[in-house]
Amino acid sequence: MLSLVVITGLLAFASGKPCDTEGSNSELLLTLNKNLLRSLETQEGLPNPSVHLALRLSTRHNLAKESEHLNQLKSSLHNDIQSSLTNSQPVVGIMALYTLALKSSCHDLNTVTFTVSEASETLLTHLKKQMEQEKEHIAFSHRPLTNYYQYSLGVLALCVSGIRVNNHVSNKLIKAVEHNHLTHGDSESVDTYAMAGMALQCVKNAGSYVHNVAELDTALAKIKQKLLASQRTDGHIGNEFSTGLAVQALIAMGSPVAECAASLEAIRTDARSNTYHNPMAISQVLPALHQKSYLTLKSKACLNEDDTLVLEPVDPVVVLPSETKVTVTVEVVMSSGATAVYSVDVPKGSSLLEALELLKGTGIGFTFDKESSLWGPFLSMVNGEQARQSDRRYWHLSSDGTALSQGVSDYKIEAAQKITIKNTSY
């Protein structure tokens, strides 16, 4: 397999393309594309703009289904963002993704408006205002209202849409890179570095940054170095679920094939073993496998598009509960440090969410609430205590001391283990 990777890499290098993915992987791309399209039929909650992005950046399309999903974004997601704006809640991340999704369908962004305090303004005007609020928050508290991942998304969405990004807004991101502020908790965030890389590369390509161009180049070089330094021996950059965005960023920054061939092969291996069954995960790796990044949207024309992607009927799969039971110990660590420990037997193969539901049903004092996100449900309250983004806190999940890279509905319990749920600041 190693020799095959090397040969493939040499051929790609000879072709002059960075991170080439042509050839024998077309069937894998088609399968992922169909799985993502099929997820629209079973989606829960709000329509996902990231899924729309990936479908639109693919080479094969089902234009009718994509158009239907676009209409759902323009109604359901639009109304949800409008509600957040009305309640003065920061929404830069989801608003930026919404902008990119509309851009991917070549929708006229000037026709999309939101109304606040009886004044109607365009989506891009509101996005610029959100970015100004984030920038001002950084000025007096040294961090955004949300986080640098969402801040980077905002820069990227404005830039890709042809809007000149305020130099002071870009500079705040450059300084965050310089001072190593792109973290989640105590560790550096590969996802955030990747998104910041795409955002700042777009700013550089636009040629509109006039503060200190050398500083911009230094930040981009540092981001690239951070991503490459995060590459594991198996090719993953960070983990399985950050590699897609990292490869997108490397592609955007013009990396040669040698720097991302191993990571692309790791993604393909994961895809073949169904690691990416979460639609959000597929949506981030599919553009990378197509040798594209979100920067591709800047020049997307939506002309003469393929319309041959057809979904075959799929027989419903009935999964019977396993008769094998495994014991899960659940440790809850509150913000005060107080600890409670519980135990529950669950069918092997249960999701962590199903295990927590079973534990909750035993009536021994464990309780939790969840909220929805683009990645699926996440814990918002455990044993009556909240961990809210507005307080810069979240429930950190780990198994036998190793942080989970999947959410509560995706992580499967295959063996006896100790799950720790800790109220953590970031």
Tell me what the pLDDT averaged over the chain comes to: 91
pLDDT at 1 over 60: no
Report the range of poorest mean pLDDT among 4-13, 16-25, 251-260.
4-13
* Beta partners for residue 402, in sequence order: 399
Is the pLDDT score of 5 beyond 60? no
Within this chain, do residues 144 and 278 fall inside the same structural domain, yes or no? yes
What pLDDT is attached to residue 18?
53
Give me the long-range contacts of 103-106 (CB less than 8 A, separation at least 24). Answer: 103/157, 103/160, 103/161, 103/297, 103/300, 104/52, 104/53, 104/56, 104/57, 104/297, 104/300, 105/52, 105/56, 105/66, 105/67, 105/70, 105/302, 106/300, 106/301, 106/302
For residue 344 the two structure tokens come to 């529950």
Domain boundary among 250, 284, 299: 299
Contact criterion met (CB below 8 Å) for 361 and 367:
no
Q: Are 123 and 113 in contact (CB under 8 A)?
A: yes
CA distances from 338 to 91, 334, 341 (A): 33, 5, 10
Residue 87 belongs to a domain? yes
Following CA atoms 272, 275, 280, 282 in sequence, which dihedral angle do they give, to the nearest 10 degrees?
Answer: -10
pLDDT digits (tens, 9 = 90+) for 10-43: 333 333 345 544 555 899 999 999 999 999 998 8
Overall average pLDDT of the 130-145 stretch: 95
pLDDT at 392 (0 to 100): 80
Structure tokens at 51: 């899924």
- Cβ(109)–Cβ(62) under 8 Å? no
pLDDT for position 45 = 86
Question: Which residue segment(s) compose the domain that 382 sits in?
Answer: 325-425
Query: What is the pLDDT at residue 60?
Result: 95
- For residues 248-266, average pLDDT: 92
Please say if the pLDDT value at position 138 is more than 70.
yes
Residue 320 lies in a domain: no
- Residue 417 confidence (pLDDT) above 80: yes
DSSP labels, 128-158: HHHHHHHHHHHHHHSS-SS-HHHHHHHHHHH
Alpha-carbon distance 101 to 85, whole Å?
19
pLDDT of the residue at 14 = 32
Q: What is the CATH number of the domain that holds 64?
A: 1.50.10.20
Mean pLDDT of 87-112: 97
Calculate mean pLDDT across residues 305-333: 87
Label residue 278 by pLDDT band (50, 70, 90). very high
334/291 same-domain check: no
Q: Are residues 19 and 131 in the same domain?
A: yes
Which pLDDT does position 9 carry in this prediction? 35
Please compute the mean of the pLDDT values over residues 117-139 and round it to a whole number: 97
Q: Are residues 336 and 418 in the same domain?
A: yes
Per-residue confidence (pLDDT) for residue 11, from 0 to 100: 31
Neighbouring-strand partners of residue 399: 402, 419
Q: CA torsion sign, 58 to 59 to 65 to 68? A: positive
Q: d(Cα 236, Cα 213) in Å, to the nearest integer?
A: 31
Is the pLDDT at 234 greater than 90? The verdict is: yes
Mean of pLDDT values over 222-237? 97
Instruction: Specify the 3-state DSSP secondary structure of 16.
Output: coil
- What's the domain count of the chain? 2
Write down which residue in 238, 265, 299 finishes a domain.
299
**Which residue has tokens 């319309």?**
307
CATH of the domain at 389: 2.170.130.30
Range of lowest pLDDT (22-36, 95-109, 362-376): 22-36
Q: Is the predicted pLDDT of residue 300 greater than 60, yes or no? A: yes
Residue 396 has pLDDT above 70, yes or no: yes
State whether 192 and 295 are in the same domain: yes
Average pLDDT over residues 87-96: 96
pLDDT at residue 24, rounded to an integer: 54
